[in-house]
Amino acid sequence: MKVLFIGGTGLISTAVSQVALERKIDLYVLNRGNNNDVLPDKVKTIICDINNDEAVKKAIKGHKFDAIVDWIAFTVDHVKRDYRLFKNKTKQYVFISSASAYKKPLPKLPITEDIPLDNPYWQYSQNKKYCEEYLLNINDPDFNVTIIRPSHTYDETLPIFQLSSWKFPFTILNRIIERKPIVLPDDGESLWTVTYNYDFAEGFLDVLGNELAYNDYFHLTSNKVYSWNQIAKFFYEALEIEPNIIHIPSEYILRFFPEVKGELYGDKKDSAVFDNSKIKSIAPNYKSETEYYDIVKIIVKRYLENAELQNIDAEFNQKYDKLIQAYQNENS
């Protein structure tokens, strides 16, 4: 099977690329070449800017693919561009959407694909919804669309917290090491599903070239579910430090961190547990084996052993401390 990835060097797609080669897929990756050192050696690269129509047409002239996956399509303009470029180049186009696009607040648990898409809190999720609507209305018998909705997918590099510094992820780990308190929204008991990237890859690759997936949509997550209290305590245990956690209502947190409202209310605040029956029905290699606790130990070791990763976000820390102090003063 001959497959083209657009992008292909992200957290999820690099794992998928590795497993694709193990399955003997003839894999091509089209991107600007900036991070291709993370790709396996046998991947065939096409160095090109996806936003340059003429360059892309020239770069893929003479190629036809059994499936094309765009890992970096985020707006309707992106998927319109892809249809324009690839409608005669593939039997199957795979759009990477997001499970965060489901209606918020969620009407039921576990989450199934019949829940409508409508997340008013996060523009990222709304844009994914609009992309799905456009693609599912193309109705081109020679351009079959498959939509995959990942939830939070992780690897061995970044810690997961509800409130953290994207700029310097070590910041919260450093707070733990220095015995400073960390904040969890509300009571920390909402449930969160996390999916290891190599587990994701196994089920995802079953979708490629699979006619049962044509013109349909699936979320693809693991069955590993933890409370936010559990996730935080995994890091304390890995560092062999007693937990020092403060629970603060989400609304109060937004007074100091208004910029996280979309991600918090649109994704990480309330419980998110998924029914994966639909993807399992077409993906015989679906996998949900990896426990987050085991990966946390690897993440912590990586940061402790690499001084160049131990950067602290001073501005974030200052706001974080102000949040804690203000809440404690008002509730003492």
Per-residue pLDDT of 241-265, as tens digits, reads: 999 999 999 999 999 999 999 999 9
CA distances for 230 relative to 48, 142, 193, 289, angstroms: 43, 47, 12, 18
Largest alpha-carbon pair distance within the chain? 71
Rounded mean pLDDT of the chain? 97
In tens, the pLDDT along 304-322 reads 999 999 999 999 999 999 9
pLDDT of 174 higher than 90:
yes
Percent of the chain having pLDDT more than 90? 97
Taking residue 88's Cβ as centre, other Cβ atoms within 10 Å add up to: 8
- Specify the pLDDT at position 96: 98
- The whole-number average pLDDT for the span 23-38 is 93
Question: What is d(CA 255, CA 314) in angstroms, rounded to the nearest whole number?
Answer: 19
pLDDT of residue 38: 87
Domains in the chain with CATH codes = 2-154+195-220 (3.40.50.720), 170-194+225-272+289-330 (3.90.25)
Q: CA-CA distance, 276 to 288, in Å (whole number)? A: 10
Q: What pLDDT band is residue 35 in, cutting at 50, 70 and 90?
A: confident
Let me know: does 222 contact 195? Beta carbons within 8 Å.
yes
